[in-house]
Amino acid sequence: MKILDKYIAKQVITSILLVSLVLLGVDLFFTLVNELRFVARTDYTLSNAFTYLALTAPTHLYTVFPWAALVGALISLGTLAGHSELVVMRVAGISVLRITGSVLKAALLLMVFIVFIGEGIAPETDQIAENKRSWALSGGQSIQTSLGLWVRQGRDFIHVKSVQPNGELLGVTRYLFSNNRKLQEVSMALKAIPEGNTWHLFDIVGTRFEPHKTETFKTESLSVEHLLDPEILQTATVKHPERLSLSMLLRIIEQREKNELNTRNYTVAFWSKIFHPLVILLMVFLAVPFVFGPLRSVSMGFRIVSGLIVAFLFHTLNSLFVPLAVVYQLPPVLAVLTPIFLFGGLGIWMLKRVNPKVLFK
């Protein structure tokens, strides 16, 4: 049985890794097409675009891996079925559940690999990529970090804790300098709302530094012309929470809770990353009933298309439940687990329909 486990694992792992490379190449190609829009803008060159692709490749691999797991498992098991090797295993008395166990053992090895990529490598390289991209696109006027955005506006510096989807800024700290680079004023606004070229700041507290004294002040609202260049802000917004590591997500959730800010998007991202390995196992598991059932004797191309359709349906359902968690205040963990339970139940139902009498034999 150890020989069988190794043989099945070799087939499954090889196919999944090959499919991962293909899907990664396709994903990077479309990303490159998108990045070409910014080439020749300020200091952003084709070399910057390729550097950005190389540094974000681990993140893209982490994203497409569940798709690759399903398609790769379908291809490998379909090849074994096409060569009648699965039939020989069944004739030798190996049950469908035992073959499923061998497939899932291979998936566990890949799961450990992709978790290492997603938690150990991708967040770091992604942060470097976003910093380099923001620096080049803004002509050296902005830099993005996991805890906010720094922007240079003339001789002043501005730090933004969070950029909302509607363009509203949260936690805006301004450092105003004189012509001889002496700090004149520091102010902190709870939020800033854009209106044309004017920004309306609210709940402002700050300190002015004069030659012989300092003065604190507090203002309910203030309007500022050209607080931030919209183009710089557009090219250097804070990255998506799902691209952060689990430890960083926890830190941000704690900080936002202390400041009484909404944490639901970050909580959903946290639970999505927690259960990402389970999604990989689920995708590989779904391949087994498909190959023993409706896809037993179809062509390789049909298996690939079928795998992509199932993965797309899961992605669509997952994309539906996550916004519902945000809009209707559902528990984030429930929104993340519901698609997994639904497709897991579908896989178990299909596996039972393969042949209930010989499922355990």
In a domain, 92, yes or no: yes
In a domain, 20, yes or no: yes
**∠ CA 220-163-194 to the nearest 5 degrees?**
50
pLDDT of residue 193: 86
pLDDT of residue 261: 66
In a domain, 361, yes or no: no
Domain end (from 235, 250, 269): 235
Pair (255, 134) in one structural domain: yes
Pair (120, 259) in one structural domain: yes
Cα(221)–Cα(160) distance, integer angstroms: 17
pLDDT of residue 191: 87
Domain end (from 166, 201, 235): 235
Torsion of CA 325, 330, 335, 338, to 10 degrees: -140
- Helix residue spans in 212-275 (DSSP H): 230-235, 246-258, 264-274
Pair (279, 321) in one structural domain: yes
Pair (264, 341) in one structural domain: yes
Buried b (16+ CB within 10 A) or exposed e, 74-102: bbbbbbbbbeeebeebbeeebebebbbeb
Helix or strand or coil: residue 225?
strand
Pair (191, 118) in one structural domain: no
Pair (131, 30) in one structural domain: yes
**∠ CA 95-343-263 to the nearest 5 degrees?**
135
CB neighbours of residue 171 within 10 Å: 19
In a domain, 288, yes or no: yes
pTM of model > 0.85:
no
**∠ CA 192-197-199 to the nearest 5 degrees?**
15
Domain end (from 176, 210, 235): 235
Cα(336)–Cα(207) distance, integer angstroms: 45
pLDDT of residue 358: 46
Pair (7, 90) in one structural domain: yes
Amino acid, res. 346? L
Pair (18, 56) in one structural domain: yes
Buried b (16+ CB within 10 A) or exposed e, 127-165: bebbbbbbbbbbeebbbbebebbbbbbeeebbbbbbbee
pLDDT of residue 296: 60
Q: What is the pLDDT of residues 309-353, one digit of tens each?
A: 887 888 888 777 777 766 777 788 888 888 889 888 888 887 777
Structure tokens at 120: 């150990």
Pair (177, 221) in one structural domain: yes
- Number of structural domains found in the chain: 2
Helix or strand or coil: residue 289?
helix
Pair (19, 106) in one structural domain: yes
Phi, psi at 266, each rounded to 5°? -75, -35
In a domain, 360, yes or no: no
In a domain, 290, yes or no: yes
For residue 223, what are the domain limits?
Answer: 147-235
Block residue for tokens 């507290």: 205
Pair (249, 106) in one structural domain: yes
Pair (99, 229) in one structural domain: no
Rg (alpha carbons) of the chain, rounded to whole number: 26
pLDDT of residue 238: 46
Residues of the chain with pLDDT under 50: 238, 357-358, 360
- Helix residue spans in 121-175 (DSSP H): 122-137
In a domain, 359, yes or no: no
- Which of 226, 162, 231, 209 has the alpha carbon at shortest distance from 190? 162
In a domain, 151, yes or no: yes
